[in-house]
């Protein structure tokens, strides 16, 4: 037994040592600027090998702790590299003259000042807020009405649910192009007009709302259906016995009883509309003329916040300003989410 432990201890230490040598060799190659192609593989093998060695270490007392570390590490590592580090860097970069590749100096709040003096950006914020409010109201209303329809005593509700949900399966890019076709070629043909509604800013914004409603309404409907079917049957029965009519049942029983579902759907539509990017890009790509906004002519009549950030950085190549806009975007979403937590918590206390 004891010899066994010694042997496995030796094996474990040998594996760990070998892995560490590989790791350091890889890092040494990195720092000396070697072009050796295999250095990436060395690093990965070294890292995995180290954990294998750690796992093999025969320690009944601490084995559980070692397993915990090995189980947590992969996800935490990817999470830190893809979310935490870029977030910290990104907030820092927004105060510099970052070009996407290099930084030469700290510029303080200059990027933020530039963005708040940019009418096109302020316009994007404005239409994003309008879009968000319109969407929140319309999608919830339509989703709820569809849910009532699909929970009523008619046939084929299963088919209706699936059909209404279907658009949600499709990614925004493809969906935007399909609707571009509908607006530009089909609708103009059907109404016998030459100009598509996508060619003017305001109708085009309505078009984005219509497409988004088409995509998202069925999903919100599903959540409302779940809420409605969770209302206990005896409550509805009691209401019927007491002589409540359909409208009374709806407003005084059904809606109050799905208050928490309404909260969920409201914030879900709110945050997703805020982040809307794909449909905006493929349907209009933000184009549209605005004759006069704060005294200047704009050509981004349908460009919402997320697309504005993307275009600022990628198309116009001003990474630092784009990053500053993104930080503001983050702050807005964080505030919205905090309000959501507040509202949900206060609701729970009431119930």
Partner 1 sequence: MVGKKKRNNGIILTLVGILIAVYILFPFYLVVMNSFKKQAAIVANPISVANASFAQFKTNIDTVVNNSNFNFWYAFGTSALITILSLVLLAVLGAMAAWVISRNNKKKWATAIYMVFIASMIIPFQVVMLPLISTFRDVGKFVGISMLQSVPGAIFAYCGFGGAMTVFILTGFIKGVPYDLEEAAAIDGCSPEGTFFKIIFPLLTPVVTTVTILNGMWIWNDYLLPSLMLGQNGKVKTLPVAVQAFVGSYVKQWDLILTAALLAILPMIIVFLIGQKQIMHGMVEGAVKG
Query: Within positions 269 to 328, which residues make up the interface with partner 1, using CB under 8 A?
Result: 274-275, 277-278, 281-282, 306, 309-310, 313-314, 319, 322-323, 326-327
CA gap 175, 211 in Å, rounded: 8
Tokens found for residue 209: 């709302």
Strand partners, 296: 293
Restricting to residues 136-155, which ones interact with partner 1 according to CB under 8 A?
146, 149-150, 152-155
Spatial CA neighbour of 300 closest among 44, 122, 36: 122
Tell me the window of 110-118, 124-132, 173-181, 197-205 that interacts with partner 1 (CB under 8 A): 173-181
Question: Quick one: 204 or 281, whose CB is closer to partner 1?
Answer: 281
Question: How many CA atoms lie within 13 Å of 285's alpha carbon, on the beta-carbon side?
Answer: 3
**Cβ of residue 335: shortest distance to partner 1, in angstroms?**
10
Position among 89, 137, 259, 339 found at the interface with partner 1 (CB under 8 A): 89
Position among 11, 122, 173, 287 found at the interface with partner 1 (CB under 8 A): 173
Position among 9, 57, 114, 167 found at the interface with partner 1 (CB under 8 A): 167
Question: Quick one: 46 or 301, whose CB is closer to partner 1?
Answer: 46
User: What's the sign of the alpha-carbon dihedral 304, 210, 201, 130?
Assistant: negative
Position among 48, 109, 137, 169 found at the interface with partner 1 (CB under 8 A): 169
Restricting to residues 114-133, which ones interact with partner 1 according to CB under 8 A?
none
Spatial CA neighbour of 323 closest among 93, 81, 88: 93
Tokens found for residue 193: 């007009």
**Cβ of residue 203: shortest distance to partner 1, in angstroms?**
18
Give the residue carrying structure tokens 């070692």.
Answer: 66
Position among 100, 110, 122, 129 found at the interface with partner 1 (CB under 8 A): 100
**Cβ of residue 275: shortest distance to partner 1, in angstroms?**
6
Find the radius of gyration of the CA atoms of the chain: 28
Restricting to residues 24-83, which ones interact with partner 1 according to CB under 8 A?
26, 29-30, 36-40, 43-44, 63-64, 67-68, 71-72, 74-76, 78-83
CA distances from 139 to 31, 61, 93 (A): 54, 56, 37
E strands within the chain?
290-293, 296-298
Tell me the window of 1-9, 106-114, 219-227, 287-295 that interacts with partner 1 (CB under 8 A): 219-227
DSSP, collapsed to helix, strand or coil, labels residue 1 as coil
DSSP 8-state symbol, 103: -
């Amino acid at each position: 037994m004891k010899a066994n432990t010694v042997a496995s201890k030796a094996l474990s230490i040998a594996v760990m040592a070998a892995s560490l040598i590989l790791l350091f060799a890889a890092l040494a190659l990195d720092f000396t600027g070697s072009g050796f192609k295999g250095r990436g593989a060395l690093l990965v093998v070294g890292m995995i090998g180290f954990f294998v060695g750690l796992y093999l270490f025969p320690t009944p007392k601490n084995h559980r702790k070692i397993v915990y570390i090995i189980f947590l590490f992969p996800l935490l590592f990817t999470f830190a590299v893809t979310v935490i580090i870029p977030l910290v860097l990104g907030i820092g970069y927004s105060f510099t003259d970052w070009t996407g590749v290099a930084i030469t100096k700290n510029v303080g709040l200059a990027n933020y000042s530039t963005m708040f003096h940019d009418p096109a950006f302020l316009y994007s914020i404005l239409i994003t807020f309008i879009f968000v409010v319109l969407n929140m109201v319309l999608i919830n209303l339509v989703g709820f009405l569809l849910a009532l329809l699909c929970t009523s005593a008619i046939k084929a509700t299963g088919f209706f649910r699936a059909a209404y949900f279907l658009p949600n399966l499709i990614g925004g890019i493809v969906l935007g192009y399909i609707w571009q076709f509908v607006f530009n070629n089909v609708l103009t043909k059907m109404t016998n007009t030459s100009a598509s509604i996508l060619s003017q800013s305001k109708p085009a914004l309505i078009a984005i709302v219509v497409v988004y409603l088409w995509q998202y309404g069925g999903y919100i409907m599903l959540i409302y259906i779940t809420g409605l079917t969770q209302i206990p049957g005896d409550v509805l029965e009691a209401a019927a016995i007491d002589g409540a009519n359909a409208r009374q049942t709806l407003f005084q029983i059904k809606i109050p009883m799905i208050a928490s579902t309404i909260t969920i759907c409201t914030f879900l539509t709110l945050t997703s509309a805020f982040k809307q990017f794909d449909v905006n890009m493929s349907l209009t790509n933000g184009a549209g003329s605005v004759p006069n906004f704060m005294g200047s002519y704009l050509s981004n009549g349908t460009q919402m916040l997320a697309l504005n950030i993307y275009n600022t950085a990628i198309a116009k190549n001003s990474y630092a300003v784009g990053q500053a806009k993104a930080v503001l975007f983050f702050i807005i979403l964080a505030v919205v989410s905090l309000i959501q937590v507040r509202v949900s918590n206060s609701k729970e206390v009431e119930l």
